Amino acid sequence: MSVIHYQKKEDMKFETTGNGILRAEMLPGMVDGVHTYKCKVAAGTVVTLETFGDQTQIYYFTRGEGYVATPKKAFNIEEPSLFIPNMDKEANILHAATDMEFLQLTSVMLPEDYEQFDHWHIALPRFCPLSGCIEYIEGFRPEGIKALSILDTHFLTRMTMGAIIGKGPNKAAPHSHDNLYQWYYGMPGTKFIYRAADEEIELHEGDWAFIPTDIEHAIEIEEDENVNYVWFEIELTKAELEAKKAR
Ligand SMILES: [Fe+2]
């Protein structure tokens, strides 16, 4: 495997972070300045979520129920949900009613990101359950595979996130992205084939995969199987895009 970087759920090594959260960094070092973690908290635990002033950050709750409280608001987590803290401006307390699992995705802010962020970004804190996300259509994706936008382009500098949900048998046609790094996380109940270039993996719940830019990729879901994953993307930096153009 050289194109698809892949970490199976069972190969993730969780460590205590000291604040009550068990955390595993998934596929470290794929993209400079970007960290992708899977976190777990036990039922009944109350934890303060890590915040940053110099990194944009997304939390995506993948399993369990609870709520996040900020000094001004509380957000109920009853289904997969996005939470974006208001940088390091306030504390965000997670109350786990059941065992919970979530993704913590962070990206360092470059000067161009501060510029973009100061010019425009989605109001923070941002909370959105998956059922409140916007469905969108792409030409290469057949009917029967639903695509939802969790975090739209430039809502938060170079980060984007979405969900793909459907039943087999079905497939989505090969396509590639020339300006995006892509990661994939298998949500509960999923099993599908992910192909990129001439490589192929079977993605299950809790698995994490990554591909670089410009790689043709496609999915296939077999009869009686379900596809249910969230993708996370980071746009190339200005310098990377200019270097590509020059080539
Ligand atoms: Fe894609």
Predicted local confidence at residue 19, as pLDDT = 87
Distance from the alpha carbon of residue 3 to the mean position of ligand 1, in angstroms: 14
73-87 pLDDT tens trace: 999 999 999 999 999
Instruction: For 155-198, write each residue's pLDDT tens digit.
Output: 999 999 999 999 999 999 899 999 999 999 999 999 999 999 99
CA distance 225 to 215: 25
Across the range 202-226, mean pLDDT stands at 97
User: What's the 68 CA to ligand 1 centre distance in angstroms?
Assistant: 31
Distance from residue 217's CA to the centre of ligand 1 (Å): 6
As beta bridge partners, residue 27 has none
Evaluate if residue 141 carries a pLDDT over 90.
no
CA of 2 to the centre of ligand 1 (A): 18
In this predicted structure, what is the pLDDT of residue 247? 87
Average pLDDT over residues 12-16: 97
Residue 138 CA to ligand 1 center (angstroms) comes to 10
CA distance 243 to 14: 37
CA angle 9, 183, 194 (to 5 degrees): 75
Task: Kindly give the distance from the C-alpha atom of residue 218 to the centroid of ligand 1, in angstroms, as a whole number.
Answer: 7
Residue 143 in this model has a pLDDT that exceeds 90: no
∠238-239-245 over CA atoms, to 5°? Answer: 90
For residue 11, report the distance from its CA to the centre of ligand 1, in Å.
25
Tell whether the model's pLDDT for residue 1 goes beyond 70.
Answer: no
The rounded Å distance from CA 148 to ligand 1 centre is 13
Query: Rounded distance, CA 198 to CA 193, Å?
Result: 13
pLDDT at 6: 96
Tell me the domains of the chain and their CATH numbers. Answer: 5-246 (2.60.120.10)
Q: What percent of the chain shows pLDDT beyond 70?
A: 100
Whole-angstrom distance, CA of residue 27 vs CA of residue 5: 8
Span 19-36, pLDDT tens digits? 899 999 999 999 999 999
- Between the CA of 179 and the centroid of ligand 1 the distance, in Å, is 11
The CA 58 to ligand 1 mean position distance, Å, reads: 20
| 19 Cα–ligand 1 center, Å | 35
Residue 228 Cα to ligand 1 midpoint, Å, equals 14
Distance 176 CA to ligand 1 centre (A): 6
Q: For position 229, what pLDDT does the model report?
A: 98
Percent of the chain clearing pLDDT 90 (strictly above): 95
What digits encode the pLDDT tens for the residues 92-118?
A: 999 999 999 999 999 999 999 999 999
Q: Per-residue pLDDT for 18 more than 90?
A: no
Instruction: Compute the distance from residue 209 Cα to the ligand 1 centre, in Å.
Output: 13
For residue 66, the model assigns a pLDDT of: 98
Over 80: is that where the pLDDT of 220 sits? yes
Cα 142 to averaged position of ligand 1 atoms, centre (Å): 14
Q: How far apart are CA 106 and CA 179, in angstroms?
A: 18
Tokens of 145: 């595979």
How far, in Å, is the centroid of ligand 1 from the Cα of 159? 15
Ligand 1 centroid to residue 177 C-alpha, Å = 7
Residue 47 reports pLDDT greater than 80:
yes
**Which tokens sit at 240?**
């990377």
The mean pLDDT of the chain is 96
In the reported structure, the alpha carbon of residue 117 is separated from the centroid of ligand 1 by a whole-number distance in angstroms of 25
